[in-house]
A and B are shown apart, each in its own frame.
Chain A
Amino acid sequence: MAQADAGTEDLTRDASGQMVTADGVPLKQSLKRAERRRKLVAFGLVTPLLLFLLVVFIFPIGQMMWRSVDNPQVVNALPLTLEALEDWDGQGLPDEEVYAALASDFRTDMERARRDQFSGPLGVRLNYELSGARGAVARTVRNVPDFEAPYKEAFLDSHRLWGDVALWKVIEREGRPLTTAYYVAAMDREFDADGNIVMRDENRQIYINLYMRTLALSVAITVLTILLGFPIAYYMSILPMRYSNLLMIFVLLPFWTSLLVRTTAWIVLLQQQGVINESLVALGIIGDDGRFSLMYNMWGTIIAMTHILLPFMVLPLYSVMRTIPPSYVRAAKSLGATPFTAFRKVYLPQTLPGIGAGAVLVFIISIGYYITPALVGGQSGRMISNEIARHMQQSLNWGLAAALGTILLIGVLVLYWVYNRLVGAQNLKLG
C-alpha cells in the first residue's frame, strides 16, 4: 500500500491519456502488482498454519471418512470368484465353476509372500458380516493346494459355511470396492436374506441407544455447568480484582491438573467405601447398607465430567460479565424494576454471548469425551466414544470405528448449524 501511495505523488498522463506512475508504468498495473505482493506476503504468513491444519486435521479426517466406505478385501482376494459369481442367480448354491474360481483365487493367494496375502483380511472382513466366516477362510485356504475337482465337494467338506447361501450373498454384496456396510452396522441395522436393510435383532442393537445417551449426558452436563458456573462467574466479575484473581486461581488450578489425576481423585471420593459415603455413614445420615452408588454408573460420568468441564463455562462467562457496566442494572432498578426483573430483562440478555460460547464449548467437548466415562462410568455411563475406542484398539474394526466417528462428526456439525440458525454464531463471545 505504501508503495502505491508513494506512486500517486508523481502521477502523470502518458500520450494516450492513461494514468502512469513516475517510472512510466500504467497506474492500474502498478496498483495490481502492489496488491498481489501484499496478498502473497499475507498468504506466506498463514501458510504454516494452513499446512499444519491440512496435515494434522483435514487429511486424517478425510482418511477416516474414506476408511468408513473403503472395502478392498473381497475385491483383492477373490477377483476370479467375483467374475464367476456374476452369472449366479442368488438362489441356491453357486455351481462348480464358481468353486473352481475360488480354488484358483486361494491358490494364487497362497503363492504370494506372506504379508501380501489377501486371505487374512478377507476372513476378518467376511466375519463382520457372518459369524464363522473367518474360520471358514483360514481353515480352507491352507488345504486348497491339495483340492481336486470337483471343487464344490472339496469346499463343502472343508467347512460347512461354503455350503451356506448366506456366505455367498455376503461375498457377492461386499465384492465391491466401496461399501455401506459399516454405516448400516453403525445404525444398528443389517442386510436380510434378500439384501434389504432391516433393524438388527434386538439383543444386538447398541449404537443408536449410545448416541442418544451421549446426547442426553452432554446436554445434562452442559446445563449443570451453566447452573454451577453462572453464580461463580458473576461473583468473580463484581469482586475487586485482588479477590477475583484468587477465585480465578481456584477455577484454573484443577484445569492445570492432569485429567487422569482429577478423575482418579473422583474415584477416591465417590466409591462406596469412599470419602463421601464414609462421611455420610459416620454422621449417621445413611446406614451402612444404604451407601450411595455414586460411580460406575451414569452419575459418576455426570459428576466427574461436570467438574472437569466447568472452567470451559466459567472463563467465557466471566470475560463477558466483566464488560457489562453495573450501571445498567442500577438504572433498571431506579426505573422501578424488581431485582429479579432487572436481572432477567437487563443483565441476563447481556450474558447470553458468554453462555452461548460456554455451552457450545462444553457440549462439543463432552460429546467426544472418553477417558473419564471409561474410568468412572461403569456400563450405564459409557458414551459413544468409548465404543469407537474399543473398535479402534480391541476389536480392530477400523471401518466401523470410522463410520461411528463420521456419524458423530456430522451430528455435531448439524447441531452447530441448528444452533447457528437459532442463536447465531456471531453472538458467541469468548472474551
Chain B
Amino acid sequence: MSIRKLSILAASGVAAAAITAGASAQEPVSLTIVSWGGAYTQSQVRAYHEPYMELNPHVTINNDDGSANALAGLRAQSQAGNVTWDLVDMLPSDAQLACDEGIIMPIDHDEMLAAAPDGTPASEDFLPGSLGECFIPQIVYSTVLTFNTELFPEDAQPDSIEALFDVENYPGRRALQDRPGTNLEWALYADGVAPEDIYDVLATPEGQDRAFAKLDTIKEHIVFWTEGAQAPQLLADGEVVMATGYNGRMFDAAEVEGQPFAIIWDGQVVEWDGWVVPADGPNLDVVMDYLYFATDTQRLADQAKFISYGPARASSADLVGEHADLGIDMNEHMPTNPDNYFSPIILDNDFWTDYGDELRERFANWMLQ
C-alpha cells in the first residue's frame, strides 16, 4: 500500500512538474505511439495511455499498429525528413540497428527515467542486460509452444519441446513462424543441446546442418505463420494441434476467450520488448514526460494486469497482482515466474545480428524445398 501511495505521489509530482512547466505545456498535443496492435496495444492503452491522459488532459494519444515494420517506417520517415511517430515499441535487435543508424535517440536511463520507489536508479532497477543504448525495455515476453488440449487424449498431453518434433506420439500439423529465429533454437534444444550452448553450436556449420536436419523430420507437418495473431487462430480453428507463439497472445486466447489451450513453458525463448524515441520527433518534451511516467515501477506492474508479459523492472515484480477483468492471479502466467522459468533460452541478439542474413536465406530456401 505504501508503495502504491508513493508512486501516486510520484505520478502527481510529474503532473505538477508538467503544469509548472508553463502555459506552453497546456497547448493541445497529440502523440502518435506505434505498437504491435491487438491485446498488446490494449494493455498499453489501459496501463499507460489512459492514466497519462487523465493527468494531462491536453494530451491525446493515437495508436498506430505499425511495430511489425517499425524499422522500415523509421528509416523512411527519417530519409523523407518528416518524422510523424513520437514513440515506437520495438524489439531490441531492431532498436540497435536504428540506434547505429542514428535515427532514434540515445537514452540516458538514469537521467530520463524514474528511479525505483526505494531510490534504486533506473539503470540498476531494470533487469540485467535489458537496457540498450537507445532502448527502454517494458516487458519480458517469450515465444512458447502451445497445444490444443482437446486434440490429445488426456493421458498423452505434450509436456516438452520434444513433443514438437515427435509426430509419432503427437500426430497432427504444427504451426511455426516463417523465420529461423526460435525454430532453430528449438531444433537443437530438442536434439539434446543445453540451452546455454545453443548459440555456440548454431554458430558452426555442423550445428546449422544439425538444426535443419531436425526440422526436416517434421517438415511435412508444418504450417507457417507470419503475424502474431495467426498462431492462436490456427490453433483455435483446429488447423494445427500445436503452435508456437507469443505467450501473451496465447494467454489472451486461453483465459480471455476461453480456448482450450495449454502452454508448454519448457524451452521458452525469452526476449525483451520496449520503447525507442525517433530522433527529431515533433513533440520530444511531451514524449519524455510520458516516458518518465509510463516506465515507472507502478505502470510497468500495471500492464501485467492486462496481459501476461513480465515487467522489465525488478521493483515491479512484487506489485504484479490480479488480471483487471478476470481476477485471476497473473503471477503464474508470467514467463519469469520461477515455476515457468526452469529451462529458458535467452534470445541472443548478437548472434542474430551476425548470422541472421545467412540463416534467413537458408531458412527461406528450406521452406521452399
Contact = CB atoms under 8 A, between A and B. Distances in A.
Q: A and B: real partners? A: yes
Interface of A: 113-117, 119-121, 123-124, 127-128, 131-135, 138, 203-206, 209-210, 213, 271-273, 296, 374, 378-380, 382, 387, 390, 392-397
Given A115-B102, A135-B353, A387 B364 contact: yes
B97 A124 contact: yes
A117 B106 CA distance: 14
Contact of B364 (A121, A206, A393): A206
Contact of A203 (B97, B178, B360, B362): B362
B200 interface: no
Nearest to B105: A114
Nearest to A200: B361
State the majority secondary structure of interface residues on B.
helix
A126 to B, nearest CB: 10
B72 A271 contact: no
B101 interface: yes
Interface of B: 68-69, 71-72, 75, 78, 97, 100-103, 106, 178-179, 212, 222-224, 226, 237-239, 279, 350, 353-358, 360-362, 364-368
Contacts of A203: 212, 362, 365-366
19 contacts: A114-B102, A115-B102, A117-B100, A120-B100, A121-B101, A128-B357, A134-B354, A135-B350, A135-B354, A203-B362, A204-B358, A204-B365, A206-B364, A206-B365, A271-B237, A296-B223, A378-B223, A379-B222, A387-B364
Contacts of A390: 364
Contacts of A397: 357
Given A120-B101, A205-B365, A115 B357 contact: no
Contacts of B353: 127, 134-135, 138
Given A115-B279, A119-B100, A374 B239 contact: no
A260 to B, nearest CB: 13
Contacts of A117: 100, 102
Most buried by A among B68, B75, B102, B279: B102
A256 B194 CA distance: 55
Contact of A374 (B101, B222, B226, B356): B226
A374 B68 CA distance: 15
A91 B353 CA distance: 29
Given A120-B102, A271-B237, A379 B362 contact: no
Contact of B368 (A121, A209, A392): A209
B368 A210 contact: yes
Q: 4 closest Cβ contacts across the A-B interface? A: A115-B102, A120-B100, A114-B102, A379-B367
A272 B238 contact: yes
A204 B212 CA distance: 12
A397 B357 CA distance: 9
Given A210-B368, A272-B238, A272-B239, 9 more contacts: A117-B100, A121-B101, A124-B97, A133-B354, A374-B226, A378-B224, A379-B367, A379-B368, A392-B72
A395 B357 contact: yes
A205 B238 CA distance: 34
A374 B178 CA distance: 11
A115 B101 contact: yes
Contacts of A138: 100, 353
Contacts of B364: 206, 387, 390
Contacts of A119: 100
B355 A114 contact: no
